[in-house]
C-alpha cells in the first residue's frame, strides 16, 4: 500500500508494526492513578545569542534507586532539532526514535523538509498517544523540544517548545525546564533573565554554558534524582548548542574547564 | 494464443523491444567513488532523478516518471519500516534490490497482460563500520548487477558499455569531489552523445564504428556546454564525513559551478 501523505505512523500501521506509544490501557485495581510528576531528571534549554543551548543531567532513577549515571537525555532528532527528555525512559526513547524516523520519512517520501509546525504536531500526537501510559503513572514523558528555524527573518532562529501531558505545545521566549529538578531552577532562570547582569538572550556560548551548568548543579543539590558532576567517575552533564550551523556537543574537555573555572568556585568556606 | 510457449516468448521479446525503445532517450546516470564517499550525477530537464532512500542508500533512475515514483516509494517505505523495526545497520542495499525491487520488476515485466515498469535503476550504498559498499543497477527485466567502484545506467546497452569503458580508465576513489564530478560529467556526455547518434542512425554496421570512436576532452566539454543550455546538472553524494546519521545530500550550485566553470 502506498503512503502518499508521508505519515510514518500510517506506514507502520500498514505494515502491522506496533509501537510502544499506542499500547492499550491496562485495567488497574482500586482508585485510578493520579497524574504523576515527571521523575528523575533535570533538563533545561535557554535561548542565547546564537541559538539554543540545552543541558541535561545524566542520572536515571527508579524510585530511590540510581539505575544509571550515564543516561543521555538530550536526543538529536535531526540536524537542527533536539528533544530533551524527562520521564519514563522507555517511552521517551521510543518517542525520540519515532520522531526521528517520522521526520526522515516525510523528507524522503515527500521530497521536502517537514515544517516546524508539522514537527511540533507530530510530537504532540506522540505525547497524546502515550496518554494511557501517563494516566497509569508509569510511562509519562514531558519533553522540551528545541529547534533552529533557518527560514525565520529574526537574527536568532532558535525556538524552544514545552509540552503538557496531553500534548499541547507552548513556545517559550527565553527558557524552559523539565523534570523533577526543574522546580528548583525555574525561578532562578526567571530571576537571572530579568534582573541578572546579562539577559539570557544576550549571553554568548560561554556565559550560557556557565549558567546552565550552575543550574544543573543547583538542581542536583536539592533533587536526589538529578546528578551533577560526578568526580569519581568523571561524568559531566551533557550540553548541546543548536545554531544556524547545526548541532554541536560541548566536549567533556570544554565542560571540565568551565566547571573548574566557574562552577566549582563558590563563596562557601 | 499466449499460453503457448512460443507465443509467450514472442510477447516477452516484443515487450523488451517496446521498453528499450521507450528508454532510448533517457539521460544517463553515472555513479562513482570519490575520496569522501559515493557520487551520483546526471543532467535532467526539470524532473528530479536522484533520491534519498535511507541513511546510507540513494536511488536514481531513468524511465517513465510514474514508474520511477512507484518504485522509489516502494524502496523508501520498505527501507523506512525495516530501519525502524530493527536497526539501520541491518538494512542493506543487497536485500532491498534482490528481495524487494528485483522480484517486483521481474514479475511485472513477465506478466504480459499487465503493464511493465519502464525503468532502469541505479542504487548506491555507503558502507560504514566495514559494511558492504557500492553500486547496484537494476534492469527493466529485474536483473541485478553489482559493482563496488562504479556503475552507470543509460538509454541503451551500447551507451552503458561506452560509459563503463570511459570510467574504467581511472581509479576515482582518491579523487576530490570536484574531480570526481568532472569525470562523471565527461562520462555522462560519452553515454548521451552515443545515444543521440544511435537515435539518428541505428544501423548495425554503424554501431561497431560508434563504439570504437572516442571523443577528445574538448569535444566532450563542447557537448556538455550545449546540453546545459536546456538541461541542468543534478548530483548527490553519500558523504562519509557528514555529521548527521543521514549521509545523503544534494550537491550545491557552488559545488557544481566549481567543477564546470573552466569549461563554460
Each residue of B137-155: pLDDT tens digit?
999 999 999 999 999 999 9
Q: Answer whether A97 sits within 8 Å of B84, measured CB to CB.
A: yes
Shortest CA gap B32–chain A (Å): 22
pLDDT of residue A38: 47
Closest chain A residue to B81, measured at CA: A12
Return the higher-pLDDT residue of B39 and A228.
Answer: B39
pLDDT, chain B, mean: 91
**A57 pLDDT exceeds 70?**
yes
**For residues A49-62, average pLDDT:** 91
Does the distance separating the beta carbons of A108 and B76 come in below 8 Å?
yes
The closest of B94, B97, B148 to B120, measured between CA atoms, is B97
Q: What pLDDT was estimated at residue A89?
A: 82
Contact B85 A111 (CB under 8 A): no
ipTM of the complex model:
0.90
pLDDT over threshold 90, residue A30: no
At the second CATH level, the architecture of B5-263 is 4-Layer Sandwich (3.60)
- Stretch B11-24: mean pLDDT, rounded? 93
Q: Who among A12, A17, A109 is closest to B76 (CB)?
A: A109
Q: How would you classify the pairing of strands A51-56 and A238-243? A: antiparallel
Rounded alpha-carbon distances, angstroms, from residue A42 to A154, A220, B81: 29, 8, 33
What is the per-residue pLDDT across B245-259, written as a single tens digit (0 to 9) for each?
899 999 999 999 999
Kindly report which listed range (A63-72, A121-130, B103-112, B120-129) carries the lowest average pLDDT score: A63-72
**Residue whose cell numbers read 528508454:** B23
Residues of B with Cβ-Cβ distance to A79 under 8 angstroms:
243-244
pLDDT above 60 for A86: yes
Residue A1 reports pLDDT greater than 70? no
In 3-state terms, what secondary structure has residue B188? helix
Please state the domain extents for chain B: 5-263
Q: Which residue of B has its CA nearest to A100?
A: B84
Contact residues, A window 184-243, toward B, CB-based 8 Å cutoff: none
Ordered by where they begin, the domains of chain A are 38-263 (3.60.20.10)
Parallel, antiparallel or unpaired: strands A246-249 and B144-147 = unpaired
Residue B20 near residue B160, CB atoms below 8 Å: no
- Chain B residues with CB within 8 Å of chain A CB: 48, 51-55, 70, 73-74, 76-77, 80-81, 83-85, 243-244, 246
CB contact set of B155 (below 8 Å; sequence gap of 6+) = B23, B24, B25, B26, B27, B28, B62, B191, B195, B198
A75 touches chain B (CB under 8 A): no
Query: Per-residue pLDDT averaged across B78-102, rounded?
Result: 94
Tens digit of each residue's pLDDT (9 = 90 or more) over A142-189: 899 999 999 988 899 999 999 988 889 999 999 999 998 999 999 999
Backbone angles phi, psi at A93, to 5 degrees: -65, -40
pLDDT digits (tens, 9 = 90+) for B178-217: 999 999 999 999 999 987 777 676 555 555 555 545 678 8
Q: Which of A162-166, B100-104, B111-115 ranks highest by mean pLDDT?
A: B100-104
Q: Which of B247, B250, B260 is nearest to B125 (CA)?
A: B247
Percent residues over pLDDT 90 in chain B:
76
Catalytic residues of A: 41
CB-count burial class (<10 Å; 0-12, 13-18, 19+) for B260: middle
Instruction: Supply the pLDDT for residue B204.
Output: 53
Residue A3: predicted pLDDT: 60
Amino acid at each position: 500500500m502506498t503512503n502518499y501523505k508521508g505519515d510514518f505512523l500510517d506506514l507502520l500501521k500498514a505494515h502491522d508494526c506496533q509501537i510502544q506509544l499506542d499500547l492499550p490501557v491496562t485495567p488497574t485495581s482500586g482508585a485510578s492513578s493520579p497524574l504523576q510528576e515527571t521523575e528523575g531528571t533535570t533538563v533545561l534549554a535557554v535561548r542565547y545569542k546564537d541559538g539554543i543551548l540545552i543541558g541535561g543531567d545524566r542520572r536515571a532513577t527508579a524510585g530511590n534507586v540510581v539505575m544509571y549515571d550515564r543516561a543521555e537525555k538530550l536526543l538529536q532528532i535531526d540536524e537542527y532539532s533536539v528533544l530533551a527528555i524527562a520521564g519514563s525512559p522507555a517511552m521517551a526513547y521510543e518517542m525520540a526514535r519515532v520522531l526521528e524516523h517520522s521526520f526522515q520519512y516525510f523528507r524522503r517520501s515527500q521530497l521536502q523538509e517537514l515544517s516546524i509546525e508539522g514537527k511540533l504536531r507530530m510530537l504532540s500526537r506522540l505525547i497524546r498517544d502515550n496518554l494511557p501510559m501517563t494516566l497509569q503513572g508509569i510511562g509519562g514523558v514531558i519533553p522540551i523540544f528545541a529547534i533552529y528555524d533557518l527560514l525565520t527573518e529574526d537574527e536568532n532562529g532558535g525556538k524552544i517548545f514545552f509540552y503538557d501531558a496531553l500534548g499541547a505545545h507552548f513556545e517559550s521566549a527565553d527558557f524552559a525546564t523539565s523534570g523533577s529538578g526543574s522546580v528548583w531552577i525555574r525561578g532562578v532562570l526567571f530571576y537571572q533573565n530579568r534582573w541578572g547582569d546579562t539577559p539570557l538572550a544576550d549571553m554568548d556560548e560561554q556565559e550560557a554554558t556557565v549558567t546552565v551548568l550552575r543550574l544543573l548543579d543547583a538542581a542536583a543539590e536539592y533533587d536526589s534524582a538529578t546528578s551533577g558532576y560526578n568526580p569519581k567517575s568523571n561524568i559531566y552533564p551533557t550540553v548541546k548548542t543548536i545554531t544556524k550551523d547545526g548541532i554541536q556537543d560541548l566536549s567533556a574537555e570544554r565542560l571540565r574547564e568551565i566547571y573548574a573555572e566557574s562552577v566549582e568556585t563558590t563563596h562557601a568556606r | 494464443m499466449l499460453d503457448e510457449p512460443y507465443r509467450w516468448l514472442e510477447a516477452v521479446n516484443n515487450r523488451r523491444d517496446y521498453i528499450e525503445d521507450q528508454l532510448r532517450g533517457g539521460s544517463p546516470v553515472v555513479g562513482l567513488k570519490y575520496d569522501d564517499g559515493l557520487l551520483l550525477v546526471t543532467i535532467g530537464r526539470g524532473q528530479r532523478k536522484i533520491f534519498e532512500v535511507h541513511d546510507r542508500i540513494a536511488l536514481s533512475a531513468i524511465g517513465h516518471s510514474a514508474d520511477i515514483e512507484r518504485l522509489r516509494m516502494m524502496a523508501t517505505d520498505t527501507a523506512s519500516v525495516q530501519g525502524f523495526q530493527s536497526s539501520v545497520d541491518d538494512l542493506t542495499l543487497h536485500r532491498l534490490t534482490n528481495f524487494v525491487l528485483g522480484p517486483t520488476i521481474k514479475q511485472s515485466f513477465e506478466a504480459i497482460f499487465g503493464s511493465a515498469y519502464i525503468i532502469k535503476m541505479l542504487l548506491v550504498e555507503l558502507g560504514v563500520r566495514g559494511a558492504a559498499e557500492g553500486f547496484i543497477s537494476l534492469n527493466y527485466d529485474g536483473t541485478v548487477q553489482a559493482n563496488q567502484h562504479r556503475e552507470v545506467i543509460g538509454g541503451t546497452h551500447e551507451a552503458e558499455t561506452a560509459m563503463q569503458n570511459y570510467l574504467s580508465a581511472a581509479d576515482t576513489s582518491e579523487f576530490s569531489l570536484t574531480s570526481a564530478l568532472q569525470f562523471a560529467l565527461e562520462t555522462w556526455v560519452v553515454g548521451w552523445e552515443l545515444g543521440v547518434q544511435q537515435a539518428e542512425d541505428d544501423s548495425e554496421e554503424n554501431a561497431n564504428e560508434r563504439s570504437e570512436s572516442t571523443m577528445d576532452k574538448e569535444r566532450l566539454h563542447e557537448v556538455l556546454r550545449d546540453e546545459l543550455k536546456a538541461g541542468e546538472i543534478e548530483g548527490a553524494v553519500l558523504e562519509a564525513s557528514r555529521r548527521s546519521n543521514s549521509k545523503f545530500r544534494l550537491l550545491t550550485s557552488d559545488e557544481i559551478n566549481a567543477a564546470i566553470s573552466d569549461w563554460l
